[in-house]
């Protein structure tokens, strides 16, 4: 039996930071499913494919070989992780992620990875759809201001020039689309443990999760 840990929650709740640390501690492969939706968005924008053009989107995804190496997404042999955090990708990704055909293809790839490796996955539908049989499900939350502040710090530390207000606005817009879309909206799985990370430091959240898993 493969081990799988599911981490869901809205943008900026700390999912990826926490998941990467737990992956190292428990020797799991970290699968950043948001990066996969972002990669589809990036490639679609580059090829000028609208999220409404289902046929073109489907064949685009069929040509994308995605896997993870050292927490980074490798697309057709190239590490594209850096490109995935641009504001252009961030502000368009929710539109592409709400397309049922896109979700179906990415969920299939994610489930295939979870059968092959011991994984910790973060996203929006991991506990409810992708790893719905996992015994270890966590739902991280934090206030939208706190989440925007974290994302702002992260992008600034990567040398990007971004305004806090722009990030907060974008985050609220994405939260709305992610929680209101018809297919697999962001919601806490009934059997997930909810952790509000506002005011908690990283170690505090990691330890809480490790305690539950052990």
Q: What are phi and psi of 193, to 5 degrees?
A: -95, 125
CA dihedral sign, ordered 67, 69, 73, 77: negative
Q: Is there a binding annotation on residue 17?
A: yes
Q: How many CB atoms lie within 10 A of CB 158?
A: 10
Binding mask 96-135 for ligand DC (x = CB under 6 A): -x-------------------------xxxx---------
Touching ligand DC, residues 190-209 (CB under 6 A): none
- Footprint (CB under 6 A) of ligand DC, residues 22-41: 33-34, 37-38
Query: Is there binding between residue 170 and ligand DC (CB under 6 A)?
Result: no
CB of 214 to ligand DC, least distance (A): 26
Cα distances from 27 to residues 19, 118, 132, in angstroms, run 11, 8, 21
Binding mask 67-96 for ligand DC (x = CB under 6 A): --------------------------xx--
Query: Token pair for residue 80?
Result: 């594209």
Q: How many positions of this chain bind ligand DC (CB under 6 A)?
A: 14
Is 10 among the annotated ligand-binding positions?
A: yes
Distance CA(201)–CA(170), nearest Å, equals 24
Q: Does 9 bind ligand DC (CB under 6 A)?
A: no
**Strands in the chain per DSSP E:** 4-8, 29-32, 66-69, 72-75, 78-79, 119-123, 136-141, 193-196
Instruction: Give the residue ranges of the annotated binding site for ATP.
Output: 9-17
Instruction: Give the residue ranges of the annotated binding site.
Output: 9-17
User: What residues line the site for ligand DC (CB under 6 A)?
Assistant: 11, 33-34, 37-38, 93-94, 97, 123-126, 174, 178
């Amino acid at each position: 039996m493969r081990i799988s840990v599911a981490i869901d929650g809205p943008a900026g709740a700390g999912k990826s930071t926490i998941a990467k640390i737990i992956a190292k501690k428990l020797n799991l492969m970290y699968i950043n499913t948001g990066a996969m939706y972002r990669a589809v968005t990036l490639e679609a924008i580059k090829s000028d494919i609208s999220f409404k053009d289902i046929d073109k989107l489907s064949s685009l995804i069929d040509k994308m070989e995605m896997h993870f190496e050292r927490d980074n997404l490798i697309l057709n042999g190239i590490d594209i992780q850096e490109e995935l955090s641009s504001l252009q990708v961030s502000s368009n990704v929710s539109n592409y992620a709400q397309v049922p055909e896109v979700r179906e293809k990415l969920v299939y790839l994610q489930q295939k990875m979870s059968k092959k490796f011991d994984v910790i996955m973060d996203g929006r539908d991991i506990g409810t759809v992708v790893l719905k049989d996992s015994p270890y499900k966590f739902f991280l939350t934090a206030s939208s201001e706190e989440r925007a502040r974290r994302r702002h710090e992260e992008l600034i530390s990567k040398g990007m020039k971004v305004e806090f207000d722009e990030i907060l606005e974008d985050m609220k817009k994405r939260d709305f689309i992610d929680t209101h879309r018809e297919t697999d909206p962001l919601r806490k799985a009934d059997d997930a443990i909810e952790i509000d990370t506002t005011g908690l430091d990283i170690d505090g959240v990691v330890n809480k999760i490790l305690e539950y898993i052990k």
